[in-house]
């Protein structure tokens, strides 16, 4: 039966398609790596897996797109009833926007806002966990095309950060990356360290003490990830700004450590040869992000990539960070999946 | 023979396709309207028409996309051998990106840099010419779907300005518009009037006196279009800045007249109800335009449209104004034609 | 006597200066105008007045600088013990930075965040109150130079908005204006209406229901001021965005009414001839304002003024909106007072 | 004697002041260092020196402000009859804006647009020349306060670049720096290498071949300074972009070398401990610079300095790069000289 005839059938019989339709599974993975942490991580991780229609019936191997969820979010909600992910993937496959593929959404929840994806003795070695535990686990349990050329990675907001970080540092593992509204690409208009209320951060004893604070919990995750200090309870980290007797003093060395290890613009410069190995790099962002620093930084970041000689795509669209991706004919459907379809090896 | 079988044939036999392939014709149109002018316009206008493969054989009526060329450019070059327009249209039709359509590229050449598309007693009533002469001429001479729902309009740079101007002011004529890197959408970072060398403009006797001047010839076209003055040779226009005895004085009333009548952000506010009637509005622009004012203005313009409650798409891409549209898998192929295919009535 | 000796004398007698030093008085003004309102305004207004050293002893008449306090602030705190206003004015006079002057800080407190300075049937006619009640009251009770040429006006943040609004609309009353980090000058990067949580605003019954909401209370003041509707309890105003059954719909007419009547860029265009009558216009702002829209709008606003042919000064400085004005050698001392000293008539 | 009478005396004696008024001298300096170059530098340098009123009569030692002229300019024109420098300095001293001081304007002319101030085996070791030859020469020939605390440095446009470069790298020589509209602080919106016409640059045989080219001559100076290559005639430098058979290829290593060694944002990071030693850093720039990259880069640069923990001032003013400094009550008079007066040791 030729592809063409099959397509006709697919279009003709939505009911039949549903019958052998896509499946979303949940797997449990016991992480050895994440046991090392100071923030009470649960080492049992919940992996969500989207299997395309027909997976159970055939013996084909499929490319995999890893989807990294953002902070203040989680992979279960992503596939909750009524959400757009599964229907969008189904429709993309049905209408030929994308050939069949597997999606894996690992678990980056923490006791705080969620992982910032880098390795940290305090906040967990999530980068090692992903590369050394999640990917082998997926390749062992599913009929994947277990090679970089067939592995894509994406995510939204801080998840887009993670996706780009991992692709830039592991081109032997991933070959195509699409960042949906990445953050953490660089400084904004004002210095990064200016945003949170450091006095409140320093006096907090538990994450709950930061409730209602807009930037505090994110900056806590940031310093736990990039300034870990196992000797310094309660958060086991150092600070970018010290507050003593009400006087703020910027710790420039710490600021620079965070910026050097966190910002994608710096990671791109450090991993320049790695970036050249990737088959595709794209990211986009919404112009109306209420935190304008994200917009500003992404504009700077794409120019930085050009100055590094890195071919890529970078689009700024009209919209908020969260309102143009998952709707009908949203950017996941019109941009993200076609990008992977074009560049991944099937 | 069904469409499906035809598509198979198309893919199978590129040679056969060429045999009954697309055609680019040149028609001459004698304009009565353009005879009124002070800048030596040639009233005989050269219209270029792209007819899709099969046009000669069938009896179908087709939607039409009007393509407006920019200043310092012309419609003949657009279809010159080796250029991308015809092959791009052919390929889009062949691969199903777009159903068959006609493209009409009217003639906006002048003795200067070209038309700025508005009506002017000095520089020609090009808007009337387009609406009252070109479109009836096309509908009379070709098997068009002669209704707004089947007429799209586009163009690049100043041509994109013209396309948006005409769509905004004539929703009874056009229903879908895509501006490729429009200019003239609003002021830039600095005041508009600051750019040209007004002393040189005022002392020039012929356009040739402005040779080598970057902004001068464009601003000459601008004031001839928006500040026409039949009593004031040699250019038959007034100026935004007067220079007397070496002293510059800004003529604020003239500045405001130009901005009010020229800038798309003002036209959109004036024609707000018209904009609501359009089926689709999209524009995009390259972040690396050396004249940053264009980038800045487009960002302001899209927000202005949102404040007017006008649904639209507006993307800023990585690139120069001219290097991402016509290449393989460039934006004409991936964005412009699919937009018209989705929204025009076939 | 050399300059050096004279300077020594000047610096040597702070005690003597203090003996006949400056005075800050509080006066009560019963407002008839503010009795018309729907938000529970107290018609008894508290006016703070700074009188320069020597005022009680001499018979001189002095110029007056009106200082408008911002939202979430009040004129009592401005002169509270330990604050910088009085010492800064004293020092400026002592060191010859400014000749002696009176400062009047009217009372713009409301039951909400404070006045937005325009006339409103709901939120009080504060503009009329200022022009028709406060100024005659001050001129009647103090030895002022009771003419426009000797009246300056300033304020910070929303108070700077008020100062510029009043100067632009009443050049017969004020002649010099300095806006310290004005807001409300124009739209930001995103559409103005996007910021607040309209669903929460619509469902609130009292201002207290908006507690903890960042933009809500300010937008409530904005719509009470610019979209008053005496028929619509509980807030007696209309909304820029309507939310019905969870669906948001932008009311474009209301958005445009607010923008037209509120934004200084529009008021400047409306009052263009008035602006020409002013002896001096200056404003400045800190680049690190966490609400980047303020920075963006001020940049647009100064260019707008240039396009209107309005001479002015507009500086963007390194800093937050609130950390560079009142410190030692801060901008009040180095910029604001010298500006008034140079341009006011003494 | 009252202040008023003293002031009258000060203003009453311009003639007397002129009698023992300021002097501008020209000295010749034979440079050994600049003999090493490939671009035909004249090793005889012309040093302009402003000596304050009274210099000839007294025996005082004075602080020195070094003034670095920009590209396409020279130190002779700076003091030409009718220009503002000498009268501005005179007036500042007369009115007490600044205590008496010496100004030295070294000679940075080349056969091209002028020096970019760094050491280069091709374009001359101008940094060594300034530090090792000019300053000892000045201290040997004039009654200077020959110490860092009494040496300031300034300049405009590329001269401001030079001033900041030298101050950042030689805090043992200079203690206060004021950059007037510096360029070369960082990348703009687009990648730096995108601006010039590299094909024209590569095919040029002499600087004259670049006549009429806007960016070409500056980029030639840039690559001769930062990519010197004594083996590669005719310009003895390498290129940021290679053009072979019409195909452009960016040489990323060369781009990064230029950016690393040229941009002040990188020099500031490299010399961070040095910057801390300076007594004062200020720069400002005009928002209406037609090359918006300069505005954008200066905004980025001041934030970079904050992230390095470097105290400084950075103001963006309304104006062009060249129209607000030297006029009456321009920024040289109101900002630059008071800054040096406050921070230099007299």
CB contact under 8 A, B190 and D288: yes
pLDDT at C214: 86
pLDDT at A181 over 60: yes
Measure in Å the smallest separation between the Cα of B110 and chain D Cα atoms: 26
Q: What local confidence, expressed as pLDDT, does residue B18 receive?
A: 46
| Model confidence band, residue A91 (pLDDT cutoffs 50, 70, 90) | very high
* A308 in D contact zone (CB under 8 Å): yes
CB atoms < 10 A from the CB of C140, how many?
Answer: 9
Tokens of C13: 């007698």
Asked whether the beta carbons of B51 and B23 are under 8 A apart, the reply is yes
A323 touches chain B (CB under 8 A): no
* CB proximity under 8 Å: A 104-163 to C: none
C235-291 confidence digits (pLDDT tens): 999 999 999 988 999 999 999 999 999 999 999 999 999 999 999 999 999 999 999
- Of residues D256 and B9, more confidence is placed in D256
A189 touches D299 (CB < 8 A): yes
At C329, the pLDDT band (50, 70, 90 cuts) reads: confident
Is omega for the bond preceding B300 within 30 degrees of 0, making it cis? no
* C255 with B187: Cβ contact below 8 A: no
Per the CB < 8 A criterion, the answer to whether D98 and D337 are in contact is yes
Please answer whether residues A45 and A28 qualify as being in contact, where contact means their C-beta atoms are separated by less than 8 angstroms. yes
Measured from the Cβ of residue C83, the count of other Cβ atoms closer than 10 Å reads: 12
Q: In this prediction, what percent of chain C has a pLDDT beyond 70?
A: 95
Q: Residue A1's pLDDT is what?
A: 33
Residue-wise pLDDT tens digits, C3-24? 333 333 333 334 334 447 999 9
Q: What is the mean pLDDT of chain D?
A: 93
Taking the C-alpha atoms of residue A168 and residue D236, their distance in angstroms, rounded to an integer, is: 37
Chains touching chain C through at least 3 C-beta pairs below 8 angstroms are A, B, D
Both structure tokens of A132: 């050394």
Q: Using the beta-carbon criterion (under 8 Å), do D292 and B293 form an inter-chain contact?
A: yes
Tell me the pLDDT band of D246, cut-offs 50, 70 and 90: confident
Distance CA C131, CA C109 (A): 17
Q: What pLDDT, on a 0 to 100 scale, did the predictor assign at position C227?
A: 98
Distance from the Cα of C149 to chain D's closest Cα (Å) equals: 21
Closest by Cβ to C212, choosing from A212, A288, A295? A212
Band the pLDDT of B132: cuts 50, 70, 90: very high
Rounded (5°) CA angle D197-D199-D202: 110
CB neighbour class for B19 (10 Å; exposed up to 12, middle 13-18, buried from 19): exposed
Are the beta carbons of A231 and A238 closer than 8 angstroms? no
Longest distance between any two alpha carbons in chain A, whole Å: 77
pLDDT tens, position by position, A57-87: 999 999 999 999 999 999 999 999 999 999 9
Which residue from D172, D201, D181 is spatially nearest to D274, judged by alpha carbons?
D172
**Is B248's Cβ below 8 Å from some Cβ in D?**
no
Question: Among B191, B250, B303, whose Cβ lies nearest the Cβ of C187?
Answer: B303
Q: Is the pLDDT of residue A17 over 80?
A: no
Residue D150 predicted with pLDDT over 70? yes
Closest residue on chain D to A258 (Cα): D307
pLDDT of residue C255: 97
Query: How many angstroms separate the CA atoms of C224 and C239, rounded?
Result: 9
pLDDT (0 to 100) of residue C15? 37
Which residues of chain D have a CB within 8 Å of the CB of A299? Answer: 189
Residue A4 confidence class, pLDDT cut points 50, 70, 90: very low
Distance linking the first and last C-alpha atoms of chain D: 27
Question: Which pLDDT value is given to residue C12?
Answer: 36
Q: Which parts of chain D fold into alpha helices (H)?
A: 3-12, 14-19, 75-78, 85-94, 126-128, 135-141, 158-169, 198-203, 216-226, 252-262, 264-270, 272-277, 292-307, 331, 337-343
d(CA C251, CA D177): 53
| Residue A44 distance to chain B (closest CA, Å) | 42
In chain D, what residues touch C314 (CB-CB under 8 Å)?
317-318
What is the C-alpha separation between D302 and D185, in angstroms, rounded? 9
Q: Read off the pLDDT of residues C21-56 as tens digits, 9 standing for 90 and up.
A: 999 999 999 999 999 999 999 999 999 999 999 999
Please give the Cα distance from C327 to C333 (Å, whole number).
9
Strand bridging mode C124-125 / C23-30: unpaired
- Contact state of B309 with C255 under an 8 Å Cβ cutoff: yes
Residue D14 has pLDDT above 90, yes or no: no
In which band, very low, low, confident or very high, does the pLDDT at C123 lie, cut at 50, 70 and 90?
A: very high
Give SS3 for A202.
helix
User: Average pLDDT in the A276-296 region?
Assistant: 97
Interface A-B, measured as beta-carbon pairs within 8 A, has a size of 33
CA distance C34 to C45: 9
Q: How confident is the model at residue D258 (pLDDT cuts 50, 70, 90)?
A: very high
B178: tokens are 């895509």
Residue A232 has pLDDT above 50, yes or no: yes
Residue-level pLDDT at A240: 97
Mean pLDDT over C70-90 rounds to: 95
Distance in angstroms (rounded) separating the CA atoms of residues C329 and C134: 31
D191 touches B at CB < 8 Å: yes
pTM of the model: 0.94
Would you call B253 an interface residue with chain C, using a CB distance cutoff of 8 Å?
Answer: no
Q: Which residues in D lie closer than 8 A to residue A191 (C-beta atoms)?
A: 303, 306-307
- Per-residue pLDDT of C285-325, as tens digits, reads 999 999 999 999 999 999 999 999 999 999 999 999 999 99
pLDDT confidence bin for C151, thresholds 50/70/90: very high
Tell me whether B292 touches chain D (CB under 8 Å): yes
B257 lies within 8 A of chain C by CB: no
Task: Give yes or no for D299 touching C (CB within 8 A).
Answer: yes
Average the pLDDT over B326-332 and give the result. Answer: 93
The reply to whether residue C307 touches residue B256, judged by beta carbons under 8 angstroms, is yes
- Please name the chains neighbouring B, where neighbouring means 3+ C-beta pairs under 8 angstroms: A, C, D
- Return the residue of D nearest to C317 by Cα: D315
**Chain D touched by B189 (CB under 8 Å):** yes
Which residue blocks in chain B are alpha helix, DSSP H?
3-12, 14-19, 75-78, 85-94, 126-128, 135-141, 158-169, 198-203, 216-226, 252-262, 264-270, 272-277, 292-307, 331, 337-343
Q: Which residue, among A119, A134, A166, A159, has the nearest Cα to A28 in the 3D structure? A: A134
pLDDT at B57 over 90: yes
C-alpha distance from D214 to closest chain B C-alpha (Å): 10
| pLDDT score of D233 | 95
Quote the CA–CA distance of B160 and B321 in Å, as a whole number. Answer: 11
Is residue C257 less than 8 Å (CB to CB) from chain D? no
Selecting from D256, D259, D307 the residue whose C-beta is nearest the C-beta of A259 gives D307
- State the DSSP code for C208: G
Does ipTM come in above 0.95?
no
Inter-chain CB proximity A314 and B317 less than 8 Å: yes
Helix (H, G, I), strand (E, B) or coil at A90: helix
Q: With a cut of 70, say whether residue B9 has pLDDT above it.
A: no
Angle of the C292-307 helix axis to the B252-262 helix axis, nearest 10:
120
User: Within chain C, where are the H helices?
Assistant: 3-12, 14-19, 75-78, 85-94, 126-128, 135-141, 158-169, 198-203, 216-226, 252-262, 264-270, 272-277, 292-307, 331, 337-343
Q: State the pLDDT at residue A329.
A: 87
Q: For residue C3, give the nearest of D6, D287, D318 by CB distance.
A: D6
C294 to chain A: closest CA residue: A292
- Asked if the model's pLDDT at residue D100 lies above 90, the reply is yes
- Categorize the per-residue pLDDT at A147 as very low, low, confident or very high, splitting at 50, 70 and 90: very high
What residue in B sits closest to C253 (Cα-Cα)? B308
State the chains in contact with D (3 or more Cβ–Cβ pairs under 8 Å).
A, B, C
* Nearest Cβ partner for D307 among A255, A306, A307: A255
Is the pLDDT assigned to residue B15 strictly greater than 80?
no
């Amino acid at each position: 039966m030729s592809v063409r005839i099959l397509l006709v059938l697919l279009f003709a019989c939505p009911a039949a398609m549903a019958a052998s339709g896509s499946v979303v599974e949940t797997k449990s993975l016991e992480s050895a790596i994440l046991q090392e942490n100071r923030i009470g991580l649960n080492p049992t991780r919940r992996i969500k897996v989207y299997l395309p229609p027909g997976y159970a019936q055939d013996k084909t191997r499929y490319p995999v797109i890893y989807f990294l969820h953002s902070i203040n979010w989680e992979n279960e909600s992503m596939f909750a009833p009524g959400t757009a992910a599964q229907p969008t993937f189904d429709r993309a496959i049905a209408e030929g926007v994308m050939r069949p593929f597997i999606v894996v959404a690992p678990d980056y929840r923490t006791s705080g806002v969620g992982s910032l994806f880098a390795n940290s003795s305090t906040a967990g070695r999530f980068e090692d966990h992903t590369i050394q535990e999640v990917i082998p686990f997926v390749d062992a349990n599913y009929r994947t095309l277990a090679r970089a050329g067939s592995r894509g990675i994406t995510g939204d907001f801080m998840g887009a950060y993670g996706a780009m970080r991992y692709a830039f540092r592991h081109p032997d593992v991933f070959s195509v990356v699409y960042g949906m509204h990445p953050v953490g690409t660089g400084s904004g208009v004002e210095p990064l360290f200016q945003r949170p209320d450091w006095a409140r951060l320093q006096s907090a004893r538990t994450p709950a003490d930061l409730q209602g604070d807009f930037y505090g919990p994110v900056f806590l995750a940031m310093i736990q990830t990039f300034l870990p200090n196992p000797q310094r309870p309660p958060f086991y980290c150092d600070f970018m700004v010290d507050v003593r007797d009400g006087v703020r003093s910027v710790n420039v060395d710490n600021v620079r450590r965070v910026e050097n290890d966190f910002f994608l613009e710096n990671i791109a410069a450090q991993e320049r040869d790695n970036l050249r190995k990737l088959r595709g790099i794209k990211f986009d962002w919404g112009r109306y992000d209420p935190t304008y620093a994200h917009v500003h930084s992404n504009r700077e970041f794409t120019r930085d990539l050009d100055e590094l000689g890195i071919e890529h795509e970078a689009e700024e669209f009209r919209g908020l960070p969260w309102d143009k991706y998952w709707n009908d004919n949203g950017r996941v459907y019109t941009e993200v999946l076609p990008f992977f379809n074009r560049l991944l090896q099937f």
